[in-house]
Copies of this chain bind each other. A is one copy, B any other.
């Protein structure tokens, strides 16, 4: 039987390039699968498509060759030079499967035409590579918050509106729509809207496709999803939780836009509220520091009260490489979503909440419980 397609929206970005190069390196025996959840002993025998069966394709608005992007990531300290030499052929194969994204996707209409082209690309990709199925994963830059439109609430209205002039859906939602129409599962690894509109939910159900998201949990929020439950389980009273994120790279530049940052911050604070049982004082800042390159530093300060009002604090500094943290999760999500497809799941897959800052569906908010949910689901 055929492989599993992974169609990356933002396929020439750092995360996508790292995921493609890394999957090839692991397959070639050039690296252990560090950071890949699906490779943990708990998931042996879970029927996930093996890493070596993944076939990569995707869209991007830029056309820098993958090979060149990989070399940039070597200089940035993300990829080892030896890895890039080892996987040169795999990068060429993936390169052949990349298509230029319609730069106007979501901006000028009618968007029905853009969608039809994406659907064609997805179907051609599957046929050309003899794939059993394809999962679309959005790793493009974060969009500004979505402008509401009446057609978002109803699939029939949406279908009509997409044929009219003007943008109706943001780009991430255009891809979700196209994915479902092409019979693909959809994962939103970013805080963008993606499949999170009633009309798209309806489409997922009607086309019997699963979706997952949103906003991969790779650093500060990952920590919050284990530390906030710790305070809650000990009955300690969190008085404030403040954070500053210093980001270089493309993500930092995008998030320096206060509108894009707003969606990200909302999901970060939501993790605290849900774990701590109510709103928590404190701001989150996202600063663009170009010199950090592909790296990020997050500092969190938690002020809490214990027995008889004693004031205490916890500080955290997380220094990580965003692409190295995100890429293995992108591979995981493609594989788990493929399994969900095979198992006939449709609509949101709450069991994948483990991977996200702002998971769809009614899911627990602490990482440990999310892990148990994922493991038990995968082993069923």
Contact = CB atoms under 8 A, between A and B. Distances in A.
A282 interface: yes
Indicate how many identical chains form the complex: 4
A242 B246 contact: yes
A281 B289 contact: yes
A367 B321 contact: no
Contacts of A292: 240, 303
A79 B25 contact: no
Contact of A313 (B25, B233, B236, B319): B319
Nearest to A285: B285
Contacts of A317: 313-315, 317
Nearest to A33: B235
Given A223-B230, A316-B314, A318-B314, A308 B235 contact: no
A254 interface: no
A83 interface: yes
Contacts of A83: 308
Given A244-B242, A301-B299, A35 B306 contact: yes
A308 B287 contact: no
Contacts of A2: none
A72 interface: no
A227 B35 CA distance: 15
Nearest to A37: B235
A291 B240 contact: yes
Contact of A321 (B21, B230, B310): B310
Contacts of A227: 223, 226-227
A359 to B, nearest CB: 15
Residue of A80, A305, A317, A366 with most chain B CB atoms under a 10 A cut-off: A317
B306 A325 contact: yes
Nearest to A236: B35
Interface in A300-342: 301, 303, 305-321, 324-325, 327-328
Interface string A28-39: 000101111101
Interface size range on A against B: 35 or more
Residue of A222, A297, A368 with most chain B CB atoms under a 10 A cut-off: A368
A8 to B, nearest CB: 16
A328 to B, nearest CB: 5
A380 interface: no
Contacts of A319: 312-315
Contact of A281 (B291, B299, B303): B291
A354 B234 CA distance: 10
A51 interface: no
A5 interface: no
Given A33-B235, A223-B230, A315-B317, 20 more contacts: A18-B307, A34-B235, A34-B305, A34-B308, A35-B234, A37-B233, A77-B310, A222-B230, A229-B368, A233-B354, A240-B289, A242-B287, A242-B289, A244-B285, A244-B301, A283-B285, A299-B301, A313-B318, A314-B317, A315-B316
21 contacts: A22-B307, A33-B235, A34-B236, A35-B234, A40-B235, A77-B77, A78-B310, A80-B309, A226-B226, A233-B367, A233-B368, A242-B246, A291-B305, A292-B303, A306-B324, A307-B324, A307-B325, A310-B320, A310-B324, A313-B320, A317-B317
Closest 9 CB pairs of A and B: A368-B368, A310-B324, A239-B291, A35-B307, A312-B320, A315-B317, A244-B244, A35-B306, A306-B324
